[in-house]
Chains A and B, each alone.
Chain A
Amino acid sequence: MSSCFLVRIGQRNLLFIKRVVYNLLSISLLFGAFETIPNSAYNLALGNPIINVSGMGNGAFYDSGSLSKNRKIHFSGTVGNKFGLSELKESSWLIGLPYGQYNTGFGVRTFGNHLYQETVINFFGAGQLKNKLSWGCSINYYHIFIQDYGNTSTLGIGLSWRSNLSKNFTFVGLLNNINHPSLGKDQEALPQIISSGLLYRFENKIKAYLSWEQDIEYSGSIKFGCSYSPLPYLGFAIGGGSNPGITTAGFFISPSTFRIEYGIISYESIGRYSHKISISYFIPFSY
């Protein structure tokens, strides 16, 4: 009797997870395959843009040009649950390595559960031109696994660049999946995202930005946010975006070469929250 009950509970859980995954995938206007943004928690707190406003670690997954800003060997990791659902775990891990005048990097990110799992392995390269233009490129290996369906994979290429307009202003542009990669027998296209934004920075204390982001299959969205760091080891951020409407907030503390970040994002259209926590470590002797 009791073992039968446990089996039923297990089946119900399985059905629930399947339903959640199915619902999320079926409303693919919001989140189809590989549409989650592997941001650091603080970049999420700034409005979850795909451009790397905070300049730290995991923001380089899309905005690889931002790697050239970190001239130390660094390591970053971010974990969180999408919409607060433990079945939708996301995590991303990145290591950045300066190499002469250039920067290289390696990253891994995952999303999903044991029924549906996305994995992306990234290789990054970044550099600078005349101290006015930073560029970056990434080669992304996308792999997807769906239980009872199997798995498939493909390669994508991303580009990003930053123009230093003045001491305070920087223009950022990026293109993701410019090679138009697709998955599976039906050749499902992966999201191709174009974004550009203007960043403002004042003495490492205040940062603000305004960006335009567009998955070319859909209409675009505007994202914005600002952060304030009253002390070098403490900062707060808020942000927002349109289409779909989001509101974000978060903070960081950086007691030494460690940095811990927290970010929360609220999705207005579905009334749910996601939380993220990031940790970064910069090897101090690696100039």
Chain B
Amino acid sequence: MIKARVTVTLKNGVLDPQGKAIEGALGSLGFDGVGHVRQGKVFDIELESADKAKAETDLKAMCEKLLANTVIENYSISLD
């Protein structure tokens, strides 16, 4: 079995109001020196196959078709 982690983040230039709010809250908690904060999503996905090449192809298709909205988001895939 392959365990994969997909990370989806907003593209540069796309305003992230939630990230901004978190940035403000970190500042109000007294954490100095916090720069920009961007919020994203993490998906941990188990795949039955042991074929890493196939897993990467499948995961890429999953990202393009559902996990990320490529109009506003980038994705990255890592395998164990």
Decide if A and B are genuine partners. Answer: no
Chain B residues within CB distance 8 Å of chain A: none
Chain A residues within CB distance 8 Å of chain B: none
